Amino acid sequence: MKYSKISLAKEAISHKGFVRKIPDIFRMVKLWRKGLYPVKSIDMILPLLGILYIISPVDLVPDFIIPVVGIFDDLAVLSFTIPKLIKEVDKFLLWEAEQKYSKTRVIDADIVK
């Protein structure tokens, strides 16, 4: 099945829970910068660079010169950045839960009727 860049970008932007995960993204980046969250640097840097590219006024294809094509490159970057970022945040939340509950001790017990 072939997807257009616009449909991929719409799917990436409308990803359920993306807005709710924004605070988790900031927490993930903060823990990664402190060295507490072990992850490959490339898995963090690429999505963050993609978001910076979208936000920055510098563009490979300027929007004001070629309006339609200028927007397509932003949508293409978004369509790859947001799903990668969501996947990394999900891994981070799993890691965070494991860290939280790894300190819980389980002892042997007998079931009494």
Range of the domain at 76: 5-13+33-98
Residue 21 within any structural domain of the chain:
no
In this prediction, residue 1 carries a pLDDT of: 42
Residue 83 in contact with residue 3, Cβ under 8 Å? no
For residues 48 and 41, what is the distance between their CA atoms, to the nearest angstrom? 11
Residue 73 within any structural domain of the chain:
yes
Altogether, the residues listed in the chain come to a count of 113
Q: Per-10-residue mean pLDDT for the chain, 113 residues long?
A: 51 62 88 89 86 78 71 81 86 83 64 70
Structural domain count, the chain: 1
The 3-class secondary structure across the chain, one letter per residue, is CCCCHHHHHHHHHCCCCCCCCHHHHHHHHHHHHHCCCCCCHHHHHHHHHHHHHHHCCCCCCCCCCCHHHHHHHHHHHHHHHHHHHHHHHHHHHHHHHHHHHCCCCCCCCCCCC
In this prediction, residue 63 carries a pLDDT of: 66
Residue 112 within any structural domain of the chain:
no
Residue 26 within any structural domain of the chain:
no
